[in-house]
Amino acid sequence: MHTFIRGPMPLTILAPAAATLLGAAIDGAGLPIANISVGYLMAVLVVARHCGRWPAVAASLISFFAFNFFFTEPRYTLAISDVQNILTVVFFLIAAIIVSNLTARLRHEIDVSRESARRTQNLYEFASRVSAAATLDDVAWAAVHHVAATIQGTSLVLLPRQGELTIAAGYPPEDRLDDVSWSAARWAWDNARPAGRGHGVLPGADWLFLPMRTQAGPVGLLGVRIAAAPPESMKLLDALADQVAVAIERTNLAGAVEDALLTAERERLRSALLSSLSHDLRTPLATILGAASTLSTLDDALDPANRRELAGAIEDEALRLNRFVQNLLDMTRLGTGALVPRCDWTDLGDILDNARHRVEAAHPGRVFRMMLPRERPLARVDAVLLEQALFNLLDNAGKYAPPGTPVTVTLDGGIITIDDQGPGIPESEREAVFDMFHRVAQTDGQVAGTGLGLAICRGILAAHGGSVAIEDGPGGKGCRFRVTLALTPPPDIPSEAP
C-alpha cells in the first residue's frame, strides 16, 4: 500500500480526474467537446513529464475512457452514437499516446543529460582532489573517500605489492575481506574484468571489484560494497576506476622519474668525486714523492737553499692534502647531519683574522685588505666551523682574483662581504656554485680545487642560521660574496666589585 501511494499510480489517476472536472466546467459552459480533449492532453503531458512512458500510456487510456463515458452521447456509457464523436475520441487517443511517448522520450533524454552532467561533475571533483595527491597512499585515500561518498557505501583500493594484492586504503576503514570476496578480487585482477556482487563471476560475494586499467595493463582494483548498482552508477564507477588508474600511473611515473634523477645525481657525484680524488690527491702526492725522492737521493749534493725549497714544497703540498681531506670530512658530516655547531660568544673580527692568516699562508703574495670596525661585534657561533667557512670563501677569492689585485674583506655588524676583482660568476651559475663539485666552466681548467669549499661554506652557515649569496663586485667588476649572520645581543657581564 505504501509503495502504491508513493509510486506513479496516484498521479496517473489524479491527472485524468482533474481533467474530467475541468471538462465538466467546459461542458457546463456549452463549449464544444473538442475543447475538453485539450485538458486530457495536458493531463497526459503532466504524467509523462513526471512519471515516464508507461504511466503516461495508462493515463491516455484512462483519459480516453473518461472522455467517452462522461462527454460523448449517449452519456455515462461507452457506446458512441455520433460518427463525429467517434473520430474525435479515436484521434484523441492516438494524439494522447503520441504525445505521451514524445514527452517520455524527452524526459528520458533530459534525465540522461542530467546524469551525464552529474557524472562529469563528479569526475571533475575527483580529478581536482586526486591531482593534489603526491604519493600512492594519498591517491588511494582520496579515491576511497570520494567513491564512498558517491555511492553512499564502502569503498576499497587494492594494489599489488611484492606480487600480492593488498588493501591499500578503505573507507569507512576496512582492512579485511572474506574468502569469497578475495577470490572475486583475484579473479578480477588476473582477468582484468569486473567480478563479484551482481556480476557473472562470484555474484554472491559481498564486494564488487572493478579493475583500474591503463594502456600498460591493470594497476589495481577498486572495490565497492553497495546493495545494488544500477547501470548509471556502474558507468560512473567505471569512469572513476579509470581516473584512479591514471592517477596511480602518474604517481608511479613521477616516482620512477625521481628515482632516475637521484640515480643520475649519485652517478654524477661519484664521477666528480673520483675525478677530484684522482687530480687533487695525485698532484700533491706526486710533488711530495718527487721532492722526498730528490732529498733522499741527492742529500749530500744539495745545498741548504735547495733542501729548504724541497722541504717547503713537501710542506705546502701536505697542507693542500690536509685541506682536501678536511673538506671531504666536513662534507660527509654535513651530509649525515652530524655537523652540529658548538656555539659560544666569539669576536667576529678574531675569526676573520684567523681565517686571513691561514689563507695568506696558502696564497703568498696575495693582499687581503681587512676593513674591520673599531668595536667588533660578538656572535654566538662555533668559531672553528665559522673560521673554516670564511677560509673557504677567502681561499676561493685568492684563487680566482688576478695576480697583484687585492681581496677586500668588510665587516659591518652581522654582514661580511668579500670582494675580488676576478672574472666574476654569471648570474645563471650563482646558485649552482654552491652544489658539490660544481665548477664555473670558463675557469675550471685554470685553478685547482675540489668543488667542495663553497658547498661546505653554505652548509656551515645554514647550521648557524645564516646565509651566503653572490653579487656583482663594486662597480660591476669582479665578484662579491655576502655572508649574513643573525646577531643577538650578548648577555650582560656583571662588573667585578672593587
The full 3-state SS of the chain, as one line of letters, equals: CHHHHHCCHHHHHHHHHHHHHHHHHHHHCCCCCHHHHHHHHHHHHHHHHHHCHHHHHHHHHHHHHHHHHHHCCCCCCCCCCCHHHHHHHHHHHHHHHHHHHHHHHHHHHHHHHHHHHHHHHHHHHHHHHHHCCCCHHHHHHHHHHHHHHHHCCEEEEEEEECCEEEEEEEECCCCCCCHHHHHHHHHHHHHCCCEECCCCCCCCCCCEEEEEEECCEEEEEEEEECCCCCHHHHHHHHHHHHHHHHHHHHHHHHHHHHHHHHHHHHHHHHHHHHHHHHHHHHHHHHHHHHHHHHHHHCCCCCCHHHHHHHHHHHHHHHHHHHHHHHHHHHHHHHHHCCCCCCCEEEEHHHHHHHHHHHHHHHCCCCCEEEECCCCCCEEEECHHHHHHHHHHHHHHHHHHCCCCCCEEEEEECCEEEEEECCCCCCHHHCCHHHCCCCCCHHHCCCCCCCCCHHHHHHHHHHHCCCEEEEEECHHHCCEEEEEECCCCCCCCCCCCCC
User: Does 151 or 68 have the greater pLDDT score?
Assistant: 151
pLDDT at 351: 93
Bridge partners of residue 415, in order along the sequence: 412, 484
Which of 90-104, 245-259, 454-468 has the lowest average pLDDT?
90-104
- At residue 25 the predicted structure's pLDDT band, cuts being 50, 70 and 90, is confident
How large a percentage of the chain has pLDDT more than 90?
A: 15
With 50 as the cut, is the pLDDT of residue 3 above it?
no
- What pTM does this model have? 0.46
Query: What pLDDT score does 498 carry?
Result: 46
Inter-residue contact 467 to 434 (CB < 8 Å): no
**What whole-number distance in Å separates Cα of residue 137 and Cα of residue 247?**
11
- The confidence score (pLDDT) of residue 445 equals 46
Residue 414 — φ and ψ, nearest 5°?
-95, 15
Confidence of residue 1 (pLDDT cuts 50, 70, 90): very low
**pLDDT tens digits for range 208-257:** 999 998 888 888 999 998 776 666 678 778 888 888 888 888 888 888 88
Calculate mean pLDDT across residues 281-310. 79
pLDDT of amino acid 439: 67
Instruction: Tell the CATH superfamily of the 135-255 domain.
Output: GAF domain (3.30.450.40)
Task: Please give the single-letter amino acid code of residue 152.
Answer: Q
**Once rounded to an integer, what is the mean pLDDT over residues 352-378?**
89
Q: Is residue 5's pLDDT more than 50?
A: no
pLDDT confidence of residue 88? 64
The pLDDT of residue 92 = 67
State the pLDDT at residue 4. 42
**Domains in the chain: boundaries:** 2-115, 135-255, 337-484
If one looks up domain 337-484 in CATH, what number appears? 3.30.565.10
43 burial type by CB count under 10 A (0-12 exposed, 13-18 middle, 19+ buried): buried
Query: Residue 444: what pLDDT?
Result: 45
CA-wise closest residue to 228 among 208, 209, 211: 208
Cell of 414: 652581522
The answer to whether 437 and 398 are in contact (CB under 8 A) is: no
**What mean pLDDT, rounded, does the chain reach?**
79
Q: List beta partners, residue 482.
A: 417, 469
35 vs 237: CA distance, rounded Å:
50
pLDDT, position 24: 80
pLDDT for res 278: 61
pLDDT higher than 50, residue 462: yes
Closest by Cα among 99, 103, 106, 104 to 64 = 99
Q: How far apart are CA 205 and CA 200, in angstroms?
A: 11
pLDDT tens, position by position, 304-351? 888 888 888 888 778 777 777 776 676 666 665 666 788 899 999 999
